[in-house]
Structures are given as structure tokens and as C-alpha cells.
């Protein structure tokens, strides 16, 4: 986000300066600048922005205050959707399940990715290895989900064959309430660990080499260097990675939809699955919109807290 | 990339002097090997299963080689078997119209990628090369939408597409992706800002119009980032599941990701058609795998940029 805001301000400053220097009679023409041409160039993107981002956002907030079952017109019911949510056990269950998923998914994924990134940085810089690790991320969620659905099958899956061969009892990975969420979290750790590692790797590469050289000249051990140099300097990157991955993790849907569809019972009904079922299963678009407003607020809060609390927009390098 | 080669050379010079036999390095390489194996092995298992016969799978569940080697699963998926043959081999016998879904996926991913990259490039030109009032406000607004989760806009967008009568049409499936994504505009604007303007300014003095500069100077000069963006967008669109699931349920427009989900639940009451399912997922992944083999380096090197900077 640092680079982002800087670049936003830059052209603004640049654009302002020559304006002041010009003679007064030219100022109107100058203020409009290339407006005509610009309108032409931005027109298609503007259509997309207004029709598919701006209006839906406003309409989504509006719908969350209505009762609307796709047939007929939405009726304004004020805060009723939100108050109903307070007493909705399925909603709280969905929240709990989602938080459990995010915790498991992000915890393991970040640790493994950090380890992989350090390995790539120290020993294995080859593009081939990085490519191999990225492979699962490029394949569709649906394909990854189906592949693991097969490998983790209770009767014939290779993983249960190995478990059985070791003399342990078979595990109903997708079929038992206690395993469903950890399994889905693990599948997505597998899919995202290479990608996350590459993001962190990019951050590691941006740490200038002379910092390490000074440390090694001072006789700093590898562990010490990692904790007192690598980690602090990597912090801004780690925060950004966490913001991006946590936000993505909260919106898990594809894997759940293909493997368990929210079951068994309510064990894996994550929040987006619940929104989907409310809207398209029960045609309750008002309530579903209220749920997505809450999800939106949670995501905004998570991003805000992470950026503030972890001081993601400050680097120790300066 | 130049910095990474530099560091590598330097560390090579330092390391041998300090550590004669580096067991840590051996251990590190072993960990890398394990990570690569864990990543790649499931894909090999997918291939192994797809080349097996359903009837022999159960008896040879732990065998590393295909159980009773057969191309039947691929034939079944590609519609080269009669329903009777398919049922005899443990398939459902129902046609899955793989070729139709494949065609739909190609149309969906190609149209959205082409539109999105081109229109985003136009917008990026307006944000990086033209001066107009409100430019930075509009740009900030565009960027802010990156924060809005897709599900949030998906419900109202679905209602709009439905009201327009565009459910189960390619128009309804592609329109929300066709014009822009905030990310694409941001990505290209950064490149345009970093590109030298000398040639453009010279052309401007010669009286060239913006349209000509855009098409004849900026686009050709930005061919590399445009290709990278197109590649990433295409892969993303090829894998898109949620939106096509909402608006493209009908067979005539159903894409592969949605079709695969249906294929899974289509199996008869008995054992699922695992070999057919794995053959189908493998074939569905092939376009992405081919793109990756051809342009893998580009994708890998773009990750740092697209993710962080």
C-alpha cells in the first residue's frame, strides 16, 4: 500500500505544477486538459465500473434492508434482517466454521510458505522449482477439490490406503463433522502454499544483500540474522501477504461447494456457502444481502486491523 | 532478476570459505525435494487413475501403476464410447457433452480476457498519459472497488442479468468481466507510467492523435506486460466457478468447471466413476498446463509484481 499511495499523489503533484505557471487566459482550456480524449478512452471501463461495481454495491446495501424473494418488488423492512441475524443459529455456526477454517488455513499456509520462501531464497532459486510449486494454484479450485476428493476417499483413496497400511483406522475426511473443515483447509493449503511462498520470496529478494553481509561480518548466527534482520525487514511484505490471503480465505466457496456442499449437517457450511444457499436455495435475497454486508464489513475490519496493528505500511529499511 | 543473479554470485564466493561440507544445504535441498514431490505427486496420481479401469481400482487401490491400463476413461469423457460401453466400464452412461463445455470455456475465457485487457489498457492510458480534472478521484474510486468481495456484487449483478433476460447466455456470463477489473487497470497503469514518453512526445509534435499513439506506440511497447496480464486473466477466467454457476447453468453455456461439478454428482448409486472423473479433470486442466509449460517463466516472474507491487 505504500507504493500505491505514493504513486497516486505523484501525478497529481506533477499535473498541478505547470498549471500555475501558465497565463490566465489559457487556464480554462488547461483545466479541462485532455478531458474529451480521456472520456473516450475511459468510457468502456466506466460502463463496467458503474454497472457492475458501483450500482451493485449500492443496490446490495439497499437490498439488505428489504425483504425480497426475486418475485415482485423488494419491501423495506429496516433493520429486521440484521436483528434476525442475531438470533440465527445457522449464521453464528457459519461464522464459527469460517473462522475455524481461516485460522487453520492461514496458520499452516503462512508457516509452510515462509519456510518454502526461505528455502527458495537460500538454496533453490531455479524457475523450474518455483514453477512446480506454483502449479496447484494455476489449476481450477474445482479440479483441485475433485482430485483430493478422490485421493481422500474413505474406501479407495490413496491416503486412506497409506493410513490403513500403517495399521491405523481409516478417516472419513469429507464425511465426518470433525474432519470436514480441517480437510478443506488442508486442501487449500496445498493449493496456495506455492503461490504464497512466491509472494514472500519476492519480498525476500527486495532485502538488499549488504544488510546480510554486514550481519555476517559482525558474526551474527543464521538464526539470529533471521529473527533480527530478515523478519523485521520482511514485515511489510508479510502483512500484505496476510491481508490478501486472509481476505481470500474468508471467501472460501468452490472447494466446499464441490466436496461437501456445507455438510455433513452444518459442519462445513462456511459463510459464503450460507449466503449462496439463502439466496439461491431459499430465494431470500434480502437476508443474503445483509449477510454479505456483514461479510464485507468483517473483511474491511480485518484489513484495517492488520494494516494498523502490524504497521504494514511502514518499512524498517529507511 | 539481475539482482538475484548478483546475490547468487556473491554468496557462492563467500560460502565455500566458511562452510566446507554443508549438511544444512543438503537438508535444505531435501526439504525442497519433499515440497516439490508433495506438489507434483497428486497430479501423477490423477493421470494414473485416469489410465486405470474402474473395475480394477478397488483391488489395486495402493498400486502405483495404472490398475488394468485402459484408455476407456478418456474415451468416455470425450464422448467416444456408446452409453452401453460406458456403463459396462463403470460410467454413468449419461452424455456429459465434454466438447460443448470445452467450447463454452474457450469462448467465456477468451472473450472476457480480450475485452478486459483491451478496455483496461484504454483506461490505463487515460490514467497515465492524459490530464483531466477528477482523474485521481476516479482512479481512487476504481482502486477502492478492489476491496469489495465478489460475493457482495454477485447477488445484485445476478438480479440485473436476470432482469435483463440474459440468464444462460454468453452475454450474461461475460458482461461483468468484459470492461475492466480494478487490478488490470492498476497493473497496466504502473507499466505505462514507467515507460519512456520520448517517442510519444515526438509523435505528438508531428501531429499524431492520441488514438494513433495508443495503438501504434503504447500498445506495441507494452506487449510484454499486456501478454502477462492476458495470461493471468485467461487462467483466472478459465478457472472461474462462482459466476458461471449462478448465471450459466444451462447446458448450452455451461463451462467446464461447472460441468465437472455436475459430472461428479452424476454417477449412479454405486461406486463413483473415479477414472472418468480424473480423466475429465485432467483434460480440463490441459489448456492451463500447456500455457504454463509455454509461458511458465513469465507467470512465475510476474507473481512478485502482481501480488505485492
**Hey, is the C-beta of A299 within 8 angstroms of any chain B C-beta?**
yes
Please report the DSSP string for A168-207 in residue order: PPP--TTTSHHHHHHHHHHHHHHHHHHHHHHHHHHHHHTS
Give the position of cell 485416469.
Answer: B50
Residues of B in contact with A253 (CB under 8 A): 151, 241-242
**Hey, is the C-beta of A158 within 8 angstroms of any chain B C-beta?**
yes
Residues facing A69 on adjacent strands: A71
Nearest to B128 by CA among B183, B188, B201, B180: B188
Q: Residue B197 corresponds to which cell in the numbers above? A: 514518453
Nearest to B55 by CA among B80, B79, B72, B77: B72
Angle at B106 between CA B102 and CA B111, to 5 degrees: 155
Per-residue burial over B260-282, b = 16 or more CB atoms within 10 Å of its CB, e = otherwise: bbebbebbeeeebbbbbbbbbbb
- For residue A82, pLDDT over 90 is answered with yes
**Nearest by CB to B139, which of A8, A280, A288?**
A8
Residues facing A67 on adjacent strands: A75
**For residue A253, what pLDDT band results from cuts at 50, 70 and 90?**
very high
**Hey, is the C-beta of B7 within 8 angstroms of any chain A C-beta?**
yes
Whether the CB-CB separation of B216 and B174 falls below 8 Å is answered with no
Nearest to A62 by CA among B233, B159, B42: B159
**Hey, is the C-beta of B12 within 8 angstroms of any chain A C-beta?**
no
φ, ψ at B241 (rounded to 5°):
-125, -45
Where helices occur in B94-206 by DSSP H, the ranges are: 98-129, 135-144, 150-163, 170-178, 182-194, 198-205
Q: For residues A270 and A58, give the distance between their C-alpha atoms in angstroms, rounded to a whole number.
A: 25
Handedness of CA B35, B40, B41, B46 (dihedral sign): positive
Name every residue whose Cβ is closer than 8 Å to that of residue B211 and which is 6 or more positions away in sequence: none
Residues of B in contact with A46 (CB under 8 A): 123
To the nearest whole angstrom, how far is the Cα of B283 from the nearest Cα of chain A? 10
Q: What is the pLDDT along chain B (309 residues), one digit of tens a residue?
A: 344 444 444 444 445 455 566 787 888 888 989 999 999 999 999 999 888 887 777 777 777 778 777 787 888 777 777 766 777 666 665 656 888 999 999 999 999 999 999 999 999 999 998 888 889 999 999 888 887 888 889 999 999 999 999 999 999 999 999 999 888 998 899 888 888 888 888 888 888 888 899 999 899 988 888 988 898 899 889 999 999 999 998 889 999 999 887 777 655 555 678 888 899 899 888 888 888 888 877 777 777 655 433
Q: Which of B126, B142, B243, B301 to mutate to test the interface with A (most CBs of A within 10 A)?
A: B126
Residues of A in contact with B58 (CB under 8 A): 155-156
Q: For residues A204 and A183, give the distance between their C-alpha atoms in angstroms, rounded to a whole number.
A: 30
Whether the CB-CB separation of A188 and A105 falls below 8 Å is answered with yes
Chain A segment 71-110 residues within 8 A of B by beta carbon are none
pLDDT tens digit string along B181-232? 888 998 899 888 888 888 888 888 888 888 899 999 899 988 888 988 898 8
Half-sphere exposure of B267 toward its Cβ, with a 13 Å CA cutoff?
A: 18
**Nearest by CB to A251, which of B151, B162, B309?**
B151
Q: Residue B293 corresponds to which cell in the numbers above? A: 509449460
- For residue A2, pLDDT over 50 is answered with no
DSSP state of A1: -
DSSP state of B120: H
**Hey, is the C-beta of A272 within 8 angstroms of any chain B C-beta?**
yes
Q: For residues A48 and B124, give the distance between their C-alpha atoms in angstroms, rounded to a whole number.
A: 14
Q: Which of A26, A52, A215, A253 to mutate to test the interface with B (most CBs of B within 10 A)?
A: A52
Subunit contact B126:A7, Cβ cutoff 8 A: no
Neighbours of A131 (CB within 10 A): 18
Q: For residues A117 and A133, give the distance between their C-alpha atoms in angstroms, rounded to a whole number.
A: 11
**Hey, is the C-beta of A234 within 8 angstroms of any chain B C-beta?**
no
**Nearest by CB to A161, which of B61, B138, B150?**
B61
Whether the CB-CB separation of A253 and B256 falls below 8 Å is answered with no
pLDDT for position A304: 85
Neighbours of B134 (CB within 10 A): 10
Amino acid at each position: 500500500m505504500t507504493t500505491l499511495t505514493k504513486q497516486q499523489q505523484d501525478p497529481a503533484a506533477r499535473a498541478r505544477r505547470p498549471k500555475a505557471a501558465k497565463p490566465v487566459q489559457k487556464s480554462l482550456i488547461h483545466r479541462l486538459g485532455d478531458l474529451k480524449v480521456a472520456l473516450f478512452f475511459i468510457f468502456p471501463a466506466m460502463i463496467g465500473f458503474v454497472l457492475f461495481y458501483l450500482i451493485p454495491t449500492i443496490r446490495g446495501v439497499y437490498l439488505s434492508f428489504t425483504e425480497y424473494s426475486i418475485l415482485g418488488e423488494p419491501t423495506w423492512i429496516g433493520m429486521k434482517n440484521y436483528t434476525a441475524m442475531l438470533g440465527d443459529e445457522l449464521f453464528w455456526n457459519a461464522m464459527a466454521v469460517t473462522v475455524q477454517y481461516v485460522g487453520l488455513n492461514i496458520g499452516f499456509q503462512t508457516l509452510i510458505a515462509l519456510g518454502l520462501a526461505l528455502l527458495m531464497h537460500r538454496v533453490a532459486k531455479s524457475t523450474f522449482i518455483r514453477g512446480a510449486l506454483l502449479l496447484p494454484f494455476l489449476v481450477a479450485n474445482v479440479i483441485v477439490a475433485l482430485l483430493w476428493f478422490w485421493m481422500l476417499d474413505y474406501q479407495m483413496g490413496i491416503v486412506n490406503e497409506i493410513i490403513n497400511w500403517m495399521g491405523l483406522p481409516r478417516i472419513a475426511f469429507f464425511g465426518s463433522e470433525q474432519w470436514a473443515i480441517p480437510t478443506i483447509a488442508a486442501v487449500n493449503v496445498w493449493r496456495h502454499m506455492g503461490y504464497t511462498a512466491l509472494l514472500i520470496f519476492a519480498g525476500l529478494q527486495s532485502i538488499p544483500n549488504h544488510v546480510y553481509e554486514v550481519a555476517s561480518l559482525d558474526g551474527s548466527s543464521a538464526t539470529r540474522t533471521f529473527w533480527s534482520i530478515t523478519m523485521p525487514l520482511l514485515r511489510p511484505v508479510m502483512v500484505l501477504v496476510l491481508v490478501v490471503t486472509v481476505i481470500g480465505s474468508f471467501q472460501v466457496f468452490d472447494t466446499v461447494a464441490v466436496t461437501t456442499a456445507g455438510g455433513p449437517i452444518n459442519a462445513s457450511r462456511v459463510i459464503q456457502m450460507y449466503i449462496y444457499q439463502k439466496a439461491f436455495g431459499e430465494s431470500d435475497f434480502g437476508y443474503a444481502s445483509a449477510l454479505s454486508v456483514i461479510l464485507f464489513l468483517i473483511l474491511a475490519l480485518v484489513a484495517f486491523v492488520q494494516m494498523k496493528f502490524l504497521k504494514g505500511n511502514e518499512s524498517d529499511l529507511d | 532478476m539481475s539482482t538475484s543473479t548478483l546475490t547468487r554470485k556473491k554468496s557462492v564466493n563467500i560460502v565455500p570459505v566458511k562452510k566446507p561440507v554443508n549438511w544444512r544445504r543438503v537438508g535444505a535441498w531435501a526439504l525442497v525435494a519433499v515440497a516439490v514431490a508433495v506438489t507434483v505427486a497428486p497430479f501423477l496420481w490423477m493421470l494414473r487413475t485416469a489410465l486405470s479401469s474402474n473395475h480394477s481400482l478397488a483391488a489395486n487401490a495402493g498400486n502405483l501403476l495404472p490398475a488394468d491400463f485402459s484408455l476407456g476413461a478418456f474415451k468416455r469423457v470425450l464422448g467416444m464410447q456408446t452409453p452401453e460401453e460406458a456403463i459396462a466400464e463403470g460410467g454413468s452412461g449419461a452424455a456429459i457433452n465434454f466438447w460443448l463445455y470445452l467450447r463454452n470455456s474457450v469462448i467465456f475465457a477468451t472473450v472476457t480476457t480480450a475485452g478486459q485487457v483491451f478496455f483496461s489498457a484504454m483506461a490505463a492510458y487515460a490514467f497515465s498519459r492524459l490530464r483531466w480534472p477528477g482523474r485521481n478521484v476516479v482512479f481512487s474510486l476504481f482502486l477502492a472497488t478492489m476491496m469489495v468481495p465478489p460475493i457482495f456484487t454477485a447477488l445484485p449483478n445476478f438480479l440485473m442479468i436476470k432482469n435483463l433476460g440474459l440468464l444462460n447466455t454468453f452475454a450474461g456470463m461475460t458482461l461483468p468481466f468484459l470492461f475492466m477489473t480494478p487490478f488490470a487497470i492498476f497493473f497496466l497503469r504502473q507499466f505505462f507510467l514507467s515507460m519512456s514518453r520520448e517517442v510519444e512526445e515526438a509523435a505528438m509534435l508531428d501531429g499524431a492523435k492520441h488514438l494513433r499513439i495508443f495503438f501504434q506506440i503504447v500498445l506495441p511497447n507494452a506487449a510484454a506486460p499486456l501478454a502477462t496480464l492476458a495470461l493471468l486473466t485467461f487462467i483466472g477466467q478459465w478457472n472461474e466457478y462462482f459466476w458461471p454457476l449462478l448465471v450459466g447453468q444451462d447446458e448450452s453455456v455451461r463451462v467446464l468447471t461447472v460441468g465437472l461439478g455436475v459430472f461428479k454428482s452424476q454417477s449412479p448409486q454405486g461406486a463413483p466413476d473415479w477414472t472418468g472423473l480424473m480423466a475429465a479433470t485432467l483434460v480440463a486442466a490441459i489448456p492451463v498446463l500447456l500455457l504454463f509449460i509455454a509461458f511458465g517463466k513469465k507467470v512465475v516472474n510476474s507473481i512478485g509484481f502482481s501480488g505485492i507491487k
